[in-house]
Structure 1
């Protein structure tokens, strides 16, 4: 399948468990893919070696000569202004010069780095649930809570590639300490591990399958367990407060919710929409729509490609109405 423009982006999606790569065309198709396990328990050189293996596999594809840029969506923190990454879940990488390393491996093409939440946002705006919206917040609710912004029809990644990181908006001034150093963050309340922790602390116990994760709590909530429902309701309130705060600052029209925890469906989304009516009370925030993400596990690679293409001026895409 040949892209209309012919130009491709080499995309990387880097997380604590896997490093994925793809050659992505201007229609969002992944023409070639490669994947390696992230050796997160090893040193910086070993993790960089896994990235090199992914890129080497892509470079062997016959389509490689059509690559004009590379896009990276990485677990954070990232610092696009310096081209470095320090993912919490990859201890061996601290201020690792990922952009320089990738540029060296791919022969000097432009390299664009964004956080994984921003990459998901770029993907959903290009081809998913935020398509056609000029102003949107997209978020990933999973092991952590991340996000990104579209403003005036363009991805707004900020100077360091982290803009829209809703997970570290404080919504509980006297809440639990967050590993980021703040207190009462959305992530500390709404992430999967914290949903499970709160349910267990309240007395909830897993069913016969022993699943003590947020997925197990979601299953219990669907069955009507009051402690499981209460934990998801608390998470939904935190997300609603964060969305309302974002809407008050930048007047978004839609909030797209993705990630593993969002797989709970209406167990999360129904109370989220209900609480948002209470928090988003101003006239210019009251009509924010909450919708589920559409792209799932494809979002990281598609979004990394979209972010790179937008920044370097490839693929004259019209993504908003």
Structure 2
């Protein structure tokens, strides 16, 4: 039995995943529920409580010393609240207080989901060994987190690195966040598909109109599908280059469902980056796929909780000596 574990929650607009994770990042127990994203806040919290109840029924629950939560954002770590754009029933919702109550008073660490992914990739994934990194998820939305000076940098609110809402097209389409031309408004999966459909691409007989279907069409040479991914790649390149110029990062790690398109995304992204990352200290920026897969949010939420429980004095065990 592990000497220490933490409970982890990965909360998004589609699913609420939970796990018990030990101090080496190994997932011991899992639970998951669909996110009732269009329901009221209490219904959404009920799904979170159901996940926690399933975890706490495990005999391994007694080893849990804290809870890490990575949530779609924005989050407010100082207030313990969340206001996910894609969960309208949660606006200023006191998630930390409610999770603490549901777990018998365990300490709770809250970070944005992009920060959680950065924690996971730095702990065990593609950013391991890098002191300065941007880690991104490109999926239904676009999020990110930063590692600076060898340490996770969530910022005071828990949202640092949220690259999806950097504006890269000043007169671009309105974004649900209230701004215009955000990276997310151009490069997220639904917006890649929207752009392709608006310009004449049509799904096949199965009716699949997702970004994955657009990626398949791009691989087959469909010009509109290729153009939609090229535009997304340019938006990502502009946002990554801006972040690199500001924070002097050495590597950008990209995961999420859209990144599963592989070279359909990464080839035009690397080309576009040459147009944007022009300063001498950002020209050698590495762009690599994420390695942690669908468990990144859980492992990263656990890493954030472990770091908090150790008062920032050391990295989780898998990073030490790595």
- Give TM class, smaller chain: over 0.9
Match of 2:17 in 1: 20
4+ runs of 1 displaced by more than 3 Å?
314-321
Instruction: Say whether 1:182 aligns with 2:179.
Output: yes
How far apart, in 2, do the equivalents of 1:189 and 1:240 lie?
Answer: 12
Partners of 1:131 and 1:320 within 8 A in 2: no
Instruction: Say whether 1:279 aligns with 2:280.
Output: no
The CA RMSD measured in Å over matched residues stands at 1.4
Task: Tell me how far 1:244 sits from its aligned partner.
Answer: 0.5
Task: Tell me how far 1:44 sits from its aligned partner.
Answer: 1.7
Task: Tell me how far 1:88 sits from its aligned partner.
Answer: 1.9
Task: Tell me how far 1:91 sits from its aligned partner.
Answer: 1.8
Task: Tell me how far 1:319 sits from its aligned partner.
Answer: 5.3
Match of 1:55 in 2: 52
- SS across alignment from 1:233: helix
Match of 2:301 in 1: 304
- SS across alignment from 2:24: coil
Task: Tell me how far 1:196 sits from its aligned partner.
Answer: 1.1
Instruction: Say whether 1:119 aligns with 2:116.
Output: yes
Match runs of 1:1-321 below 5 Å = 2-3=1-2, 6-313=3-310, 315-316=316-317, 318=319
Deviations 1:152-211 (A, max 9, x none): 111110111110011111111111111111111111111111111111111122223322
Deviations 1:90-126 (A, max 9, x none): 2221111010111112122210001111111111111
> Number of residues paired by the alignment?
318
In the alignment, structure 1 segments of 5+ residues that lack a partner are: none
